[in-house]
Amino acid sequence: MLTSFLETKSPHGLAIRRAFFVSMDGIETTTYARLTNKRTAKVRHRSGSMDKKIMSVLAALALFLGVAGFFEQHAQDKKTMPEVGILQFTSHPALDQIHAGIIDALQAAGYQPGKNIKIDFQNAQGDQSNLKTMATKFANGQTDLAVGIATPAAVALANTIQDNPVLFSASTNPIQAKLVKSYQHPGSNVTGVTDQAPLADQLKMIQAFVPHLKRLGVIYTSSDDSAVSEARAMVKLAQQAGVTVKEYTITSSNDLNQTAEQMVSHQQVEAVFVPTDNTIAAAMPTLIKNTDAAGVPVFPTVDTMVAAGGVAAESINQREIGRLTGKMMVKILKGASPKDLPVDFIEKGTLVVNRSQLERLHMQLPAGYQQAKFIDQGE
């Protein structure tokens, strides 16, 4: 044990070496004095006290070695704990549910945050500069694996971290976002879980709730790649079904009130579709205030947005998205490579209906939808 401590280059080891060799110098000097001045009574008188000093130095050194060894071992133990960075784009219920689902899956696999895994959670609050700063923090730190919740967070991590695994959670179109080359063969250090909604089922549902639908409004954030991709896909499907689509875009939540008011004025639209859009999800009350005033139903893609005032959705369960992400994290922590893990997804949505919103807008539940999951406003 002594040899290993003397050889280590850690701060504890260097301190031990200095203490050891200073002590040895003292012992050698004392021994020399005793041998060369043996005949003098003065030295004979001192020899006993020198022996005591030597023993005191050795005892102190042994104690120091023991304490240093404890801290050295403690530091080594901490290094064996995997470190995970989670970067969330902004705060709203859907993304918060994903984060909760990740923790669910880690705990189910035996990983307890703070005990046998370290989790560094960062929230960019929708600020692109924060994303870059936080991604760089993960890249320069001890992070073994980084997870981006929502496409902007995942892109920031993928652009910053090249050597360690990166997972995306809730990226609607990871190929378009250049996170992966294909769903089956990601091809790099990045893979994850997509939250692509079943849009054909969604359109069919909207037409069931709004019979003879002619004019559909689609509103989304122009800078949100996932929202843009999903909105364009819905526009194409609706047009193929003979529905006239009117698109409305915002650049930030500051635009939402005015754009929503314009969208529902003069009966321009009979219903509104909202894709998986982080900006609108965080500002749903503003949208719903305007659509409710005009008596226009809103159909989002996420259950938490239905609870915030939407009428219904063929919803992707966000907590389950998080759980799938957490399960993928466990595989990587146990040695799997991201390039060998296909992009995961939820195969079928769950019909979610806001019962109180139906009543508020004087709408009827369509035939065949009695098995829906019913929620009330704010749940």
Residue 150: exposed, middle, or buried by beta-carbon count in 10 A (0-12, 13-18, 19+)? buried
In 3D space, the residue among 227, 199, 195 whose CA is nearest the CA of residue 344 turns out to be 195
Between strands 350-354 and 312-315, the pairing is antiparallel
Picking from 310, 315, 312, 320, the residue whose alpha carbon sits closest to that of residue 350 is 315
Non-local CB neighbours of 347 within 8 Å, separated by 6+ positions? none
Scored b (16 or more CB within 10 A) or e, 109-141 reads eebeeeeebbbbebbbebeeebbeebbeebbee
pLDDT for residue 187:
86
Rounded alpha-carbon distances, angstroms, from residue 170 to 35, 107, 313, 361: 79, 20, 17, 31
Question: What's the maximum distance between 2 C-alpha atoms anywhere in the chain?
Answer: 119
Residue 60 pLDDT: 57
Domain 83-196+319-340: assigned CATH number: 3.40.50.2300
pLDDT averaged per 10 residues, the chain (length 379): 44 44 43 43 49 58 53 52 97 95 98 96 96 97 96 97 97 94 94 94 97 98 93 98 98 97 95 96 97 98 95 94 98 97 92 96 94 80
- Count of CB atoms situated within 10 Å of the CB of 73: 11
pLDDT for position 292 = 98
Radius of gyration of the chain (CA): 32
* Three-state SS sequence of the chain: CHHHHHHCCCHHHHHHHHHHHHHHHHHHHHHHHHHHCCCCHHHHHHHHHHHHHHHHHHHHHHHHHHHHHHHHHHHHHHHCCCEEEEEECCCCHHHHHHHHHHHHHHHHCCCCECCCEEEEEEECCCCHHHHHHHHHHHHHCCCCEEEEECHHHHHHHHHHCCCCCEEEECCCCCCCCCCCCCCCCCCCCEEEECCCCCHHHHHHHHHHHCCCCCEEEEEEECCCHHHHHHHHHHHHHHHHCCCEEEEEEECCHHHHHHHHHHHHHHHCCCEEECCCCHHHHCCHHHHHHHHHHHCCCEECCEHHHHHCCCCEEEEECHHHHHHHHHHHHHHHHCCCCHHHCCCECCCCCEEEEEHHHHHHCCCCCCCCCCCCEEECCCC
- Cβ proximity of 328 and 106 under 8 Å: no
Distance from C-alpha of 339 to C-alpha of 341, rounded to nearest angstrom: 6
Q: What is the CATH number of domain 199-315+349-375?
A: 3.40.50.2300
pLDDT digits (tens, 9 = 90+) for 307-327: 999 999 999 899 999 999 999
- 218 near 235, Cβ under 8 Å? yes
In terms of Cα–Cα distance, which of 126, 98, 92, 127 is closest to 282?
Answer: 92
Give residue 53's pLDDT.
Answer: 59
Closest CA to 370 of 315, 319, 312: 312
Tell me whether residue 265 is exposed, middle or buried, using C-beta atoms within 10 angstroms of its C-beta: 0 to 12, 13 to 18, 19 or more: exposed
Q: List Cα–Cα distances, 65 to 15, 72, 73, 77, 206, in angstroms.
A: 10, 10, 12, 18, 73
Walk across the sheet containing 350-354 and list its strands. Answer: 312-315, 350-354, 373-375
